[in-house]
Amino acid sequence: MAVIFQASAMSEHRTIAGKSALLLGAVILGLFVTRTGVTQEEPKLDTEAQKEAPTAFAGKEPETVLHWGTGDGKSYLVPAFEVVGFEFLLNRFNHYVIDDQVYASPISNFRENIDKRWVVDTDKFATNQFLHPYQGAMYQGFARSAGLGFWESTGYTLAGSLLWEEAGETTTPSINDQVASGIGGALLGEPLFRMASLLLESSASGKPGFWRELGAAVISPSTGFNRLAFGTRFDGVFPSYNPAVYTRFDLGATVNTHYDSNVNVNSDPSAPPAYQKPKRQEASATFTMDYGLPGKPDYDYARPFDYFNFEFIASTSNTFETIFSRGLLYGTTYDLGPNYRGIWGLYGTYAYVAPQIFRVSTAGAALGTTAQWWLSRTVALQGSALAGVGYGGGGVIHGAGVTSAGPMGEGQRDYHYGMTPQGLLALRLILGDRASLDMTVRDYYISQYGASESSGSENIGRADLTLTVRIYNLHGITLRYAQSRRDGTYASWPTSHQTVGSISLGYTFLGQTRFGAVDWRPPEAGGPDL
């Protein structure tokens, strides 16, 4: 069987070159179409109203809704009670529905856990790296929608995570959960709160209607709860100060998939090897937002997350496949000549990536920059470059795992935790109002430091290449190539190598015709007419 698998893997490698050539040909074709003159065509939207607000997140200029975070609209006490109440209700729900032993009384849990030494736990990957950050995002939303600032709210998120670790369940408090819920929760919850607020603020009438209120509650449930439960007290909307915003929504389907793996997923060493078989066909939905793109005149970056990028991918094979959040925590603007504008500083980052056969997730901080450069009158290059460190987990989805199972086979964790140096390079080449070419490369090295198992490491990378062509109005088509790679090295297990890649084709609904390009130039240099 191993010989058959190796032959199959070699065949897979031989087809990769052909698939790459196919994608490159499509890119060249798109660039040729763009250069033949269609970029000079003035975009024609349906109505004047659509020109002002082509999507729900865009408006000519967001209107201030009452006064956020002042007087009775700001409270330190309300979110404190909400966090405690939320955890009590969650504990009781889990007690009666999931496991009455793990989720015993909060008082008894606290008495049992208060003297325990903190550990790195063995919960499921999705529980630790998605559900815990989302729980922390709820805490962040409770405080933010009660009028508190980012750092104040992050204090509530960290405290809420600590309280849950000590009193929410009987399991030993874990370091990784505190990082995921406390830090990851803040870095995930802030863009959700900002998006919900922008949706409420962008109403043409100046007061959000039912559908905007509902949409905001779906994006940030704790924000929706405060707006509903307290009457008009928290009706003020967080002011965005009119950032440059770009959104896109994609629906796609895989047309070709390749994978390579030497991982034996049979945890019984005496049994014949079994290799992974990911689904080759899947459909996906992607939402992306850039908020506070550099170059907008009179827009400042005085508050954390005045710039952020958020991306979410759901797929039929792995529901929540990808969540990326990165935001500027502290930084400033800079320029390099009349055609270049940028920001630089300290970013907060959260990532959750689970492409079928392995996964990685981190929460951390990075130094970096985000900028835009006008290469010509109609062509612009946007990009971000970050390098930093976080704490994260990653590894193979099936197999023997990196921790030993208990006497009854319980507690086996098939992913590795550790301090995680990481880097990102993201570029978007904008070709007028007709096409864009996006390239993003991410790399994560999950080291042996800060881990319960100190004999191994994971190196996981992700690359995306996307060509989008606007066909009509705000509608376009997108050709995407995505590849994820993993190399796992452990003292007691064979070195493992895994790669999964896919080519997909889909429909794109754009937030604006110019793919997020910000234009600060005077009219004579190609900028907008005043």
**Which among 162, 147, 173, 166 has a CA at the least distance from the CA of 76?**
147
Q: Is the CB of residue 360 less than 8 Å from the CB of residue 424? A: no
Mean pLDDT for back-to-back runs of 10 residues, the chain (530 residues): 34 41 43 39 47 53 68 94 96 94 92 90 86 96 96 97 94 93 96 95 78 94 95 90 94 89 66 66 92 94 97 87 95 96 98 83 97 95 97 69 39 73 97 95 91 77 96 94 88 80 94 90 78
Q: Is the CB of residue 292 less than 8 Å from the CB of residue 306? A: yes
Query: What tokens does 124 get?
Result: 């499921």
Distance CA 78, CA 442 (A): 39
Q: Please give the pLDDT value at position 412.
A: 40
Distance CA 473, CA 355 (A): 33
Q: Please give the pLDDT value at position 177.
A: 93
Distance CA 324, CA 484 (A): 15
Q: Please give the pLDDT value at position 64.
A: 57
| Residue 255 phi, psi dihedral angles, 5° rounding | -110, -15
Classify each residue of 450-478 as buried b or exposed e, where b means 16 or more C-beta atoms within 10 Å of its C-beta: bbbbeebbbbbbbbbbbbbbbeeebebbb
**Which among 107, 184, 91, 108 has a CA at the least distance from the CA of 139?**
184
Q: Which amino acid is at 297?
A: P
Q: Please give the pLDDT value at position 265.
A: 63
**Which among 135, 192, 184 has a CA at the least distance from the CA of 160?**
135
**Which among 122, 137, 228 has a CA at the least distance from the CA of 176?**
122
Q: Is the CB of residue 323 less than 8 Å from the CB of residue 352? A: yes
Lookup result for tokens 């590894």:
395
Helices 77-97 and 106-113 pack at an angle, to 10 degrees, of 100
Q: Is the CB of residue 122 less than 8 Å from the CB of residue 413? A: yes
Spacing of C-alpha 220 from chain mean position: 15
Distance CA 525, CA 519 (A): 10
Spacing of C-alpha 442 from chain mean position: 12
Dihedral angle computed from the Cα positions of residues 113, 115, 117 and 121, in that order, rounded to the nearest 10 degrees: 0
Q: Is the CB of residue 506 less than 8 Å from the CB of residue 250? A: yes
**Which among 386, 366, 387, 363 has a CA at the least distance from the CA of 450?**
363
How many other CB atoms sit within 10 Å of the CB of residue 163?
A: 16
Q: Please give the pLDDT value at position 61.
A: 60
